[in-house]
Amino acid sequence: MIRPATVNDVVEIHAMIRELAEYERALEHARASEEQLREALFGEHPAASALIAEDDETGEVLGYALWFPRFSTWTGNRGMYLEDLYVRPRARGQKYGKALLAALAALCERHGYDRFEWCVLSWNEPAVDFYKSLGAEFLDEWRVCRLSGASLGGLAAQAGR
């Protein structure tokens, strides 16, 4: 079953974020606290939304998808950016990932979003193959750029000069 996350899912979402970070070999970068997630997902001004995949019979949480809206100046429309898609190892191959993505695609259709985008690590061949099987387009000409830490602070210090 796929359902919208509730505030009661924050502990499980937090645990799965850490599991995902460990799988992606970047656990030291997963610093968000449960309280930060609670505020980001269910606070007065939510920054993101999440769906939960759970076992129909046991209610066990088996995965999640966390997303937020974005805007395209080229299309003039909103779209969806998928920040995380994670299915616990014991549930992989049972179509939970596909069900989460299908539910997100349906949300895109319902809200009139014309783009559904996400990133995937180039070394994660199972995920790359899975996304290709769904018809995902890989934008090889585009590269992700990021400023953080000292670089972000250094550029910010130049504001208003």
Q: Which residues are catalytic?
A: 131
The residues near 20 (Cβ < 8 Å, ≥ 6 apart) are: 30, 84, 86
Longest distance between any two alpha carbons in the chain, whole Å: 61
Measure Cα distances from 4 to 52, 129, 131, 132, 145 in Å: 6, 27, 22, 26, 30
Residue 3 C-beta-side C-alpha neighbours within 13 Å: 13
Distance CA 16, CA 63 (A): 7
